[in-house]
Amino acid sequence: MIPLPVRKDRNLSLPDASAPALDPRCAPTPIAEQELHDRVGPELAVAARRLELFALYRHSEPSRAESHLTGAQASVGRCLDDIARILRCGRPEARPLDLARELEEYAETVDTRGTAVSVRVRGEAALPLELRSELYLMVREALRNALRHARARTVRVVVEVRGGRVNALVDDDGTGFGHAEAARGDGLGLASLRERARRLGGRTVVDTAPGDGTRVLIRLPLTPGTAHGTR
């Protein structure tokens, strides 16, 4: 078998909003662009990371290596399914998932660069399937941003369902950024979070300051309702 190289310089994120504009005739729709960014991009990054871990453990811990290879194959399969559905109707169908387990596995799989991640989920059983899937994408995006950009020592993820609403917090002790950047939502990540929350009748609040970490709070009703806006 040909050894798989472990690359330290990979960046599998899709082009952000600052990339050159596409020809309008071939540009994706806003919904398709959001779904590719939020679903397919991170899933491909997970697959690539699992392949790196497979290469790392294939000789020293074969069973552990095999589990990462199986996980990579599953991630690629989900990507192919999602892309097919995005091409057909713009947005993939929700799939059953265990929110706490999926977030923990994502944190364990990605390159955390030494950052300690804790995940706590309460009341998940009350989440409808569609909302659970949307919430997972939103929390994963906030977690991914923290791991990629914050240079944090710790990231805390807390999801709580109570009183007909779900609150999700992603809190890091990293570098933070200016309020002007937070308000603009530079790049597709924060903009996507806000758009998903608005569509679900909720909102996303970003609390940050240079040198003071970042707290992303997502508030959603358990049933779709009137949008409360974002800030």
Ordered by start, the domain boundaries in the chain are: 30-89, 99-221
| Paired tokens of 227 | 């949008």
Lowest pLDDT segment from 31-40, 142-151, 199-208: 31-40
Structure tokens at 202: 């909720």
Residue 219 has pLDDT above 70, yes or no: yes
Give the pair of three-digit tokens for residue 230.
């974002």
Above pLDDT 90, what percent of the chain? Answer: 28
Q: Mapping DSSP to helix (H, G, I), strand (E, B) and coil, where does residue 122 land?
A: strand
Give me the residue label for tokens 């970042």: 214
Band of pLDDT at residue 183, cut at 50, 70 and 90: low
Q: Render pLDDT for 100-141 as a digit per residue (tens, 0 to 9).
A: 888 988 888 876 678 899 999 999 999 998 899 889 989 998
Nearest to 172 by CA among 154, 193, 185: 154
Tell which wins on pLDDT, 95 or 150. Answer: 150
What residues have CB less than 8 Å from 2, skipping those under 6 apart?
none
Q: In what order do the strands lie in the sheet with 203-208?
A: 116-122, 154-162, 165-172, 214-221, 203-208
Looking at residue 214, what is its pLDDT?
Answer: 93
Is 99-221 in CATH node 1.20.970.10? no
Q: Is the pTM of this model over 0.85?
A: no
State residue 79's pLDDT score: 83
The answer to whether the beta carbons of residues 194 and 204 sit under 8 Å apart is: yes
Q: Determine the Cα–Cα distance for residues 32 and 100; give it in Å rounded to an integer.
A: 26
Q: Judging by DSSP bridges, how do beta strands 116-122 and 165-172 pair with one another?
A: unpaired
- Rounded CA-CA distance 224/231 in Å is 19
DSSP code of 59?
T
Q: What pLDDT digit, counting tens, does each position of 41-99 carry?
A: 788 888 887 888 888 889 999 998 999 899 889 888 888 887 887 777 666 666 778 99
3-state helix, strand, coil in the chain (%, to 5): 45, 15, 35
Chain mean position to CA 55 = 25
Give me the chain's average pLDDT, please: 78
Q: Which of 12-21, 34-43, 61-70 has the highest mean pLDDT?
A: 61-70
SS3 189: helix
Asked whether the beta carbons of 54 and 69 are under 8 A apart, the reply is: yes
